[in-house]
Structure 1
């Protein structure tokens, strides 16, 4: 009910509460019979009694409506603040606990139709933020299908110095010094399909297609060469398929965080490092450098993995805090071998098979933190940090030579713009914070809801 309407009713009630004017007694004209005057007076008194009863009934109705309004008005401001929190000013439907009178009052104030008695979807779902990490925080509604094409590009550059020889005394080396610059560029096009099995459960399938190119620039000191040698290789094809299930835990209150449990299984459908031919591991006749690098870059990791994790989101007007915690376990592979160039003269076998045995890639422990802010009803931005710790790889039960623990840190910045009710565009930019992290990563997503 609008405030103006309440004031009008109050004025009407005040007017009705005023004492009625005294009616003058009718005086019979000269010569009229007295009985006629008494009949008119009786009819007038009956009419006044009826009007007095109507006025008293109206006063009772107004007192009841005023009590209802005072009770409902206390929850209007709190509801509007909760509905607008971290949503950029977009008001949702009223919670089921809000009375019908409050729904009508809010509808009259905002000028928007509000369904009465229908629980909104937003009341049990986390607020939407700009996605900057791999795992989204908001699940797909029941029965809905979301197709998300994405394109990701990354660039990685690193310097490496290899000493081949032995030292007699410090600072004196007998042998070769191999200095290399490794530059890798990758482009990954993927299509993800998410389906809402229930209000709190969704399943996802992600199919990536990858192109990767690596350039290795090296120069051996003390060989008389004044030019850098470049070793280039590339690879393209299907990557590792991913299957993910997510389940949202029941929320215990408006001021409590939302929790989403998820489990991701990564296959090894892509071509791995053990399926491509490797250059001479040591010096050989056909290749004097003996790079030991693959002649074709793989498109898969070569290991199936299982990754459980939990994502949390907490709305604190006007921002949303979010993050996740996960652990990725790579399954070991047995009886692994690789094909390398032999470097033998023409007429002899040009390749040889090297048996490696059991290879166990290091597990990965990761976490990330972020904060999101809705700029308006269509645009939102997020900033966060992603951290991963990769354990040492093992071969036949022992640490793989040259394998060390690696720390990957990435600073993330992203934004989302809602094109329509079914389509939005998301851009995320990652900058490497450690030497082993890709220098820059750019991801564009276009989720489409059906």
Structure 2
């Protein structure tokens, strides 16, 4: 009997131990779940912290590039405090939630514009109206030898020496509209005034006096339309890439439309090198130009550059007008294509002012007539050293000035461009 009694007495103790183990196991499971929830919460906080740091870096970089925006906001946790909101003179309800990154447009940094293609895109829904004025001056000498040589130092014949001085002024009205964060459209309407003076002693004459032949032209230039698309999201020490495509019309008066003087400058039209009575305001060829622009921010400077290719569409059955009303048939004419590239760097001086320095070069191919290179046509290299500065009046308007100096004989000696972009 005592054996049976001991067995029954042990049973309640086993039941109590099993229940306690179940409770402990449940507590362990609950603590494990809490630890897992904390790990997930830490992961979310780390992601938010990364977003905040990235946004803060972009804002600091933008301010360093004189973009004209407000200083970066404080840490969101500070903005969440009612005392901070009241200290800033705004209602506490306008504060941002903790862990929410401030919005950024991830646009490329803006620098003083010295090239025709701006690097920074227009914000979505914004319209930029940019009037500009460009002044250019070029001077070059031309020496033509007509005769034959007996010895290398002795020429029997005539020497035609010409000095050509050209002054131009171009007033342009440009409009840009941002369709979204990465795409914008631009239209450019130029008005051109150009004046040319040719100083020479005419060939086949015995005069010892220099003659000056003056001509000028004014009117609408070649209208352009450009689309730009930002390919990637850059940042500090990460490049921005902007692809663009430009179409240039031939709305301006071209060289084939103006009257060519073949009485005072052409001797019986034997040379076929008469000068125009009026200077053209356009190139005379439709053209399309794809290109890509890159910007690399590296505090405290921004490096930038672009590469492009301009293709001129050929014209068929071209003829030019002579002074006596006759037409001289030229056939099919194709202007040489142009490979262009440039590079430079910009530096912000303070929140409102920035400067830029750059180099621009274009390689121009030969002009062809009826499938053959025109006599005297050669490949030309145009190189320009550019200096620019910009000053921001306010958030909507700024002043941009660029100075260009020609580095080759075929490049204009000097050019000055003034732009005033206004954002609406």
Q: TM-score with structure 2 length normalisation?
A: 0.79
Match of 1:87?
A: 63
Aligned to 2:77: 101
Cα gap change, 1:201/1:223 in structure 2, threshold over 3 Å: closer, same or farther? same
Greater Cα offset, 436-445 or 174-183: 174-183
- CA change 1:175–1:126 in 2 (3 A) is same
Distance in 1 between residues matched to 2:176 and 2:278, nearest whole Å = 33
Structural RMSD (CA) = 3.0
Matching residue within 279, 295, 318 for 1:336:
318
Displacement, 1:79? 6.5
Corresponding residue for residue 403 of structure 2: 429
Contact 1:86 1:317 in 2 (8 A): no
Closer, same or farther in 2 for the Cα pair 1:393/1:197, shift >3 Å? same
Of the three residues 227, 246, 252, the one matched with 1:264 is: 246
Deviation at 1:174, TM superposition (A): 3.1
Q: Deviations over 1:224-243 (max 9, x none)?
A: 42321101100000000000
Secondary structure of the residue that 2:77 maps to in structure 1? helix
Partner of residue 182, structure 1: 164
**Shift of residue 101 of structure 1?**
1.9
Three-state SS of the structure 2 residue aligned to 1:166 is: strand
The answer to whether the Cα contact below 8 Å between 2:60 and 2:72 also exists between their aligned partners in 1 is no
Flag the 1:369–1:119 CA change in 2: closer, same or farther, 3 A. same
> Quick one: structure 1 residues 297 and 146, their matched pair in 2 at CA, closer, same or farther if it must change by over 3 Å?
same
**Is it true that 1:309 corresponds to 2:309 in the alignment?**
no
Matches within 5 A, 1:91-170: 92-93=71-72, 100-101=76-77, 104=80, 117=100, 119-122=102-105, 124-170=106-152
> How is 1:207-356 mapped onto 2 (pairs within 5 angstroms)?
207-220=189-202, 223-251=205-233, 254-280=236-262, 283-284=266-267, 292-341=274-323, 350-356=324-330
- Aligned residues of 2:107 and 2:181 also touching (Cα < 8 A): no
Structure 2 residue aligned with 1:357: 331
In structure 2, how many angstroms separate the alpha carbons of the residues matched to 1:82 and 1:142? 18
Give the 3 Å change call, closer, same or farther, for CA 252–318 of structure 1 in structure 2: closer
Q: Distance in 2 between matches of 1:265 and 1:437?
A: 23
* Greater mean deviation of Cα atoms: 192-201 or 249-258: 249-258
State the SS of the aligned residue for 2:63.
coil
Question: Separation in 2 of the partners of 1:184 and 1:442?
Answer: 15
Moved more, 273-282 or 261-270: 273-282
User: Whole-Å Cα distance in 1 between the matches of residues 343 and 117 of structure 2?
Assistant: 12
Quick one: distance in 2 between partners of 1:393 and 1:104? 67
What residue in structure 2 maps to residue 406 of structure 1?
A: 380
TM-score (norm 1): 0.75
Per-residue CA distance 1:289-339 (angstroms, 9 max, x = gap): 986111100000000000000011111011111111100000000000011
| 1:104–1:126 distance in 2 versus 1, CA, 3 Å | farther
Counterparts of 2:378 and 2:204 in 1: how far apart (Å)? Answer: 29
2:360 maps to 386
Pair 258,289 (structure 1): closer, same or farther in 2 beyond 3 Å: closer
The unaligned stretches of length 5 or more in structure 1 are 1-66, 342-349
Other-structure match for 1:419: 393
**1:328/1:363 contact within 8 Å kept:** yes
Deviation at 1:406, TM superposition (A): 0.4
Q: CA deviation at 1:220?
A: 4.5
1:202 corresponds in structure 2 to 184
Which runs of 5 or more residues in structure 2 are unaligned?
A: 1-41
TM-superposed CA distance for 1:176, in Å, is 1.5
The residue number in structure 2 matching 1:448 is: 422
Secondary structure of the structure 1 residue equivalent to 2:262:
coil
Q: Secondary structure at the match of 1:301?
A: coil
Task: State how far apart, in whole Å, the 2-side matches of 1:222 and 1:273 are.
Answer: 26
Query: Cα distance 1:222–1:241, how it changes in 2: closer, same or farther (>3 A)?
Result: closer
Shift of 1:249: 1.1
Post-superposition CA distance 1:351-407 (Å, at most 9, x none): 321111010100000100010011111111111000110011111111111100000
Q: Distance in 2 between matches of 1:274 and 1:318?
A: 50
Change (3 A) 1:315 1:252: closer
8 Å Cα contact 1:86/1:318 also seen in 2 = no
What is the CA-CA distance between 1:99 and the residue it aligns to?
7.6
Separation of aligned partners in 2, 1:369 and 1:279: 42
Q: Which residue of 1 aligns with 2:33?
A: none
Aligned length: 367
